[in-house]
Structures are given as structure tokens and as C-alpha cells.
Structure 1
Amino acid sequence: MLGPRRRDRRGRGLRGPLLPPSLPGHRTRAARFDELVLEAVGRLERRWGPQIVGTEFAVEDVPPSEPAPWETGGVPLGRCFPGDVGQPARVVVYRRPVETRAVDEADLTDLVRDVVVEQVAHLLGRSPDDVDPRFGG
């Protein structure tokens, strides 16, 4: 019976992660993007909690290839799906198109916030400025 392996096949020993989990570089771009969406949603929940309770917020890499009937023009940055019988309302933010349009990290933060605000405004039937006064349009 073999004991625990102490070395790899070249005798160098076990390798550890390049960056420890405590450093910011350890998170992936997708994980950082998810955090930005959660921050934007948390801000809106403090203000619109009762109206958006039960709404699901999701992040997908890219939108499906078939656009929704109301979408014209370029690639959507997010979508809002109203609730249906047995289905909660859902807001989806598309990570890759949003990241492509952002110039830097600060711009990405603002763009994620604006996309979430636009979709929640659509869900609530209000203007984005009503939903969040900091909306950049």
C-alpha cells in the first residue's frame, strides 16, 4: 500500500497555488464580475427591496444567439424576464459584452451598475433615473 505522495514525478515536491486566496489576484475575472453585480443588486435592494423581492439575478457569459423580439441593434448587455406563473422575475447580465465595452475597472463598475439599474427599471416599469439617481445613462 502506498502512503501519501510527497513528491511529483520529477522529484520537485507538491506544488501550491501561485497566489494565495487572500490576495486579490487569486479571484478570476468572472468572480470579480459576479461581485460587481452583487454590489449593484445590494444597492438596489436597500432602496427597492419590497418591489424586487424574489427576483433572481444571474450572470451569463454571452447572450443567446437569438435576440429577443424587442431587441434591435447590437449585442445586449443584459435582459429582464418578467415573472410568470411559478417563475420568478429574472435579470441577467452578460459578462463578456459588458467587459468588452468597459475601458478600465472603474468604468466596468459603473457599467455593471447601469446595466442592472436599466433591467430593474424595465422590470418595475420606471425610468432608470427613478430607480437609481446615480444612473449614468
Structure 2
Amino acid sequence: MQSQPHVPGFSIRWTDAEAAGDTDHAAPKARSFRTRRRNRHGRGLRGDLMLPNLPGFRSRSERFDDLVLDSAERLQDMWGKQLDGVLFAVDEIPPNLEELVASATPAPMGSYTPGVRGAAPMITVYRRVVEQTAGTKEELQDLVHDVVVEYTAEMLGVPPETLDPVYRRRYQ
């Protein structure tokens, strides 16, 4: 039912439960857009478009974050205390990408920032670069793990093959 503003005495007011209990006849508080239960045209209930158990529920960036987290947890399980306090981050693109493209230098897939003055060391994986390099989901998972292993090995000062026994063996 649509409102008809030209009919005298016809009005719609949204009220809160607190305002309904007040005996004061002041103007009730309007409900915010987020607390309404229907969409703004009154056609249906608000809610998630996808159920959490469906594959499309999580975005591509959230799935990428999960891949980085899985790789970091695998290394944490293998190396334990040596990786305590290390931060793993995901960034969209590397800084100064324009200069890299202008000089025809390939963009890095990640970076390692050593900890200084009490700050924790950080390993950053660049999502867009890694996704452009990988062709399929399986390749993406392997490539993310290899990038995490390479920069963790750089941080620890060991060869990547000793850090993870299956490093780059999936490609052969």
C-alpha cells in the first residue's frame, strides 16, 4: 500500500519501542534506515542474498585472505616459536606500482618488512599481482603458499626448500 499524502490526516510514523512507551506526546524518534525490516520500497524483507554454506557467500578477497591464513598456519605448525609475533598481511597492489610499470619491472608478489623498535616483522602478499599470475584456483592456492614461504624464508634467513618440503614441487 502506498502512502497518499494528498489525503488529509493520513501520515506514517516510525517509532522506537522506547518512544512508544513514553507518555510525552512529543514527536517520536524516526527509525534509522538500518533498523527497518523491509527494503525502502516495502517489497520484501532485508537479509543476506546468499546463505553462508554457498560458495558465493564469501568475496574473492576474503577467499584470498583465507589462503594466506592457511599458509601462515601451516608454517606456524611446522616452525612454531620462530614465527611467533610475525604479522601476515594482504594488500591489493604494491606501493609505487606506476613506477614499476613505467620502468617495465615486474611487480613483486609480496614483501617482507623487518621489525624495528619493538614492531613485529610483517610479510605482505599483494593480492592483485598474485591473482593475475595464477591461472586457476589450484594454481592460486599453490602460488599464495609459495609466496608466503619465500618471504618467510627470507625473514628467517634459510632456503625456502628447508622451510617447507613441498615448496615448488607441485609444479614439476
> Relative to 1, partners in 2 of residues 1:26 and 1:85: Cα closer, same or farther, differing over 3 Å?
same
Matched, 1:111 2:139: no
TM-score by length of 1: 0.87
> What residue in structure 1 maps to residue 88 of structure 2?
57
Cα separation, 1, equivalents of 2:93 and 2:141:
18
Q: Which has the higher contact order (CA 8 A, sep 6+)?
A: 1
> What residue in structure 1 maps to residue 14 of structure 2?
2
> Relative to 1, partners in 2 of residues 1:34 and 1:9: Cα closer, same or farther, differing over 3 Å?
closer
Which of 139, 157, 165 is 1:125 aligned to?
Answer: 157
Write out per-residue CA displacement over residues 68-102 of structure 1, whole angstroms, 9 at most, x where no aligned residue.
xxxx9310000011122211111000101001111
Cα separation, 1, equivalents of 2:68 and 2:14:
47
> Relative to 1, partners in 2 of residues 1:78 and 1:8: Cα closer, same or farther, differing over 3 Å?
closer
> Relative to 1, partners in 2 of residues 1:126 and 1:7: Cα closer, same or farther, differing over 3 Å?
closer
> What residue in structure 2 maps to residue 89 of structure 1?
121
Cα separation, 2, equivalents of 1:50 and 1:7:
51
SS in 2 for 1:58: strand
> Relative to 1, partners in 2 of residues 1:54 and 1:7: Cα closer, same or farther, differing over 3 Å?
closer
| Unpaired segments ≥5 residues, structure 2 | 1-12, 16-30
Cα distance, 1:9 vs structure 2: 4.7
Would you say the 8 A contact 2:37–2:46 is kept in 1?
no
Write out per-residue CA displacement over residues 31-87 of structure 1, whole angstroms, 9 at most, x where no aligned residue.
0000000100011001111111111111011110168xxxx9310000011122211
Matched, 1:135 2:167: yes
TM-score by length of 2: 0.70
SS in 2 for 1:92: strand
* Number of corresponding residues: 133
Identity %: 46
> Relative to 1, partners in 2 of residues 1:52 and 1:12: Cα closer, same or farther, differing over 3 Å?
same
Shifted more, 74-83 versus 6-15: the winner is: 6-15
Shifted more, 15-24 versus 86-95: the winner is: 15-24
- What is the root-mean-square deviation in Å for CA atoms of aligned residues? 2.1
Cα distance, 1:10 vs structure 2: 3.7
Which of 37, 41, 47 is 2:68 aligned to?
Answer: 37
Cα separation, 2, equivalents of 1:9 and 1:35:
34
